[in-house]
Amino acid sequence: MKKILACALVLSLGAGSCRKLLVEDNKDQMPVSQLTIKGNKTELSISKGQTPSIVLVNGFASPFTTWQKVYQQLPENTSVFTYNRAGVGASADVTGSRDALTIAREMKTILEYCSVQPPYVLVAHSMGGIYARIFYQLYPNLVKGIVLVDGTHERQLDSLLSQLPPGDRELARAEMKAINDSVVATLPAGSLKEEFKANFITNYEQIKSFPPITGIPVYVITSTKETPETPGFVVNIQKALHQEWAAQAGSKGKFVETSKSGHYIQLEEPLLVKQGIQWVLNK
């Protein structure tokens, strides 16, 4: 059971979102701006160009510089937008809940304030995948398609618990909650703490209330690289769940896997992400 609980904690954190991220410096740095939007300082990167606009959605606690290598792959005349959510980088903390519905609505407000023109291709990593999918459910007419980069699946913890004998599942769930609560207690007050609190249960419940995405192109990229944090049985669970996303989209869905990259595919194999974006644009 300890192994299951350890893997559950990794999944609730976003499969490695707390590791140190290194992004190389070079001449093609993403442009960086700071704007005050509805009274809140927001750090963002925007390049105006042709639509559809590419909107890069970060995972939990990850800065938008994790997309830099993907940005470098895109044509210069492409409209590209991304921002650091509250509490990340130079973006200020905000008050209130930081659940997925709140963040999806906030993203729409920021896109409109920055005059980023739809339709959007949402390219989302880790927990950002839930934010992107809820954004589509709320504003379907604004979205051309979605690229999910090792996205968080709302049933991944349920699937992990199914590996335990039935009698142990509720005990494991209670222990997982206790572990999660202990992590929350160590986090300083602020937006990241509130976002983490929603990560584990609330966001999963919110996305489960919506139907599968079937009306737009959905390109799914999954890491099948085994690590101490994501052993083989976890990789297999995530792969099966990610395949569902593509299958639910029918002819508009495509599933791609890689064993060369870990969770941050956009850093290790940015060309895979570019190919996914191009596939969606061509559909």
C-alpha 260/C-alpha 275 separation (Å) is 16
pLDDT at 4: 53
Secondary structure (3-state) at 164: coil
pLDDT at 282: 97
Is-contact 258 265, C-beta < 8 A? yes
C-alpha 62/C-alpha 89 separation (Å) is 9
Token pair 């976890």 is found at: 234
The 10s digit of each residue's pLDDT in 218-231 is 999 999 999 887 88
Sign (positive/negative) of CA torsion 259, 226, 236, 210? negative
Residue spans of the domains in the chain: they are 2-282
Residues 6+ away with beta carbon under 8 Å from 30: 45, 47, 64, 65, 67, 68, 71, 82
Is-contact 125 147, C-beta < 8 A? no
Q: What is the mean pLDDT of each run of 10 residues along the chain (283 residues)?
A: 54 48 56 95 96 97 95 95 97 95 98 98 97 98 98 89 79 79 88 90 95 97 90 91 97 97 95 98 96
pLDDT at 226: 92
Fold of 2-282: Rossmann fold (3.40.50)
Secondary structure (3-state) at 35: strand
Cα separation values, 245 from 187, 242, 259, 275, Å = 33, 5, 19, 18
